[in-house]
Copies of this chain bind each other. A is one copy, B any other.
Amino acid sequence: MTVTQPKGFRAAGVAAGIKAEGKLDLALVVNDGPLQVAAGVFTRNVIKAAPVLWSQEVLKQQRLKAVVLNSGGANAATGPGGFQDTHQTAEKVAGLFEAGAIEVAVCSTGLIGERLPMDALLSGVDTAFERLGTGDEADLAAATAVMTTDTKPKQAAAKHESGWSVGGFAKGAGMLAPNLATMLSVLTTDAVVTPEVLDKALRAATGVTFDRLDVDGGTSTNDTVLVLASGASGVEPTEAELTELLTTVSLDLVLQLRADSEGATKYVDVTVTGAVSEADAIAVGRTIAEDNLVKTALFGSDPNWGRIAMALGRVPAEIDPEKVAIAINGVTLFAKGTTAADRSEADLSGRDIQIVVDLGLGEGGATIYTTDLSHAYVEENSAYSS
């Protein structure tokens, strides 16, 4: 079990008819308590979809009874009408639980700029309500209903020895999916936790996991990660324990998202150490991870450290070229301003690639999770007509 492994949660996934193909396209996750604590992090894109604007507002209450998610339409750039559709969806779900709309978060993913088929969506909510349950089947249905260009559902869960757990599902990844861009994730826990601790733990966990997945630099209009806490385990972990388990489950989901990214033939960890700050380490790691000349070299299994040096050299961060060391798959190829070893000594024939850049200046470090840039990426992102 995943999203319903923590006690106090039920889930469902149904085919509401939002997608033409009759695929699963609507998911519902319900928190039966006793607690209904919640927290969320959202896209930093200034162009936000209606469901993001709505869910950001309701999360200010730090409590959620339910989350309703749909694929088949992002409800982004849809104007006031689109926001009305989101509000109506929340009202519909709230009515089924004698709750207020303000206790219901809404997530949407799909094409930008088109209104949702509300009749289909609202009747789908009724169907999902009837099918709410726990166990592998319910978890899989919910995780599948949010998929867009994902080829497989992403689920994860972890149990703490003291008897509480964290579970959840995710779809997409940044703007990794060709058009249906959004990264959505719903996490659940039966830990006893205050809203303040849950919020801090979620931000700490996503800060080193979801925020560090960068395939093409994209940031969706709909990106959302929500965590719901039921308290049903009766156990109250420390903030550190909660952060650790949320991080474990989030990283599991992030690596599943990377593994399913269109066209990826290499899974690349870009680790930056020795930066004067974590912010500098992240900036350097992201620039290397997003650089098309680095990504195409990796696709060609070419340990082209010159491109990595070029990329990091253009980052507005504190860098001393004489102190930079670049290692690929364990072989230091560049150090002290010049070649340290022949590039042929680094073997990139495998699927997993470790790039380690030591700036040699301080204690700041970060790892960015990315992929190569392949023919398939170009094909799927250009051929996909939207």
How many chain A residues touch the partner (CB < 8 A)? 63
For A385, list chain B residues within 8 Å (CB): 300, 302
Given known contacts A77-B334, A306-B77, A293 and B221 CB-to-CB distance under 8 angstroms: no
In the assembled complex, the CB of A276 is this many whole angstroms from the nearest CB of chain B, namely 14
Copies of this chain assembled into the complex: 2
Given known contacts A45-B314, A309-B77, A381-B297, A218 and B291 CB-to-CB distance under 8 angstroms: yes
A17 at interface by CB-CB < 8 Å: no
Quick one: CB contact mask for A110-132 with B, threshold 8 Å, 1 for yes? 01111000000000000000000
> Residue A386 contacts which of B302, B313, B375, B386 (CB distance < 8 angstroms)?
B302
For A384, list chain B residues within 8 Å (CB): 300
A217 at interface by CB-CB < 8 Å: yes
* Contact A291–B219 (Cβ < 8 Å): no
In the assembled complex, the CB of A43 is this many whole angstroms from the nearest CB of chain B, namely 8
* Contact A175–B338 (Cβ < 8 Å): no
> Residue A334 contacts which of B82, B113, B220, B292 (CB distance < 8 angstroms)?
B113
* Contact A292–B216 (Cβ < 8 Å): yes
A299 at interface by CB-CB < 8 Å: yes
For A185, list chain B residues within 8 Å (CB): none
Quick one: CB contact mask for A231-255 with B, threshold 8 Å, 1 for yes? 0000000000000000000000000
| A300 CA / B380 CA spacing, docked (Å) | 10
* Contact B219–A313 (Cβ < 8 Å): yes
Chain B, Cβ-Cβ closest to A317? B46
| A306 CA / B339 CA spacing, docked (Å) | 43
| A373 CA / B216 CA spacing, docked (Å) | 13
In the assembled complex, the CB of A86 is this many whole angstroms from the nearest CB of chain B, namely 14
A296 at interface by CB-CB < 8 Å: yes
In the assembled complex, the CB of A28 is this many whole angstroms from the nearest CB of chain B, namely 27
A-B contact pairs, 10 of them (CB 8 A): A77-B309, A79-B338, A82-B338, A175-B307, A175-B310, A216-B292, A216-B293, A219-B313, A221-B313, A302-B386
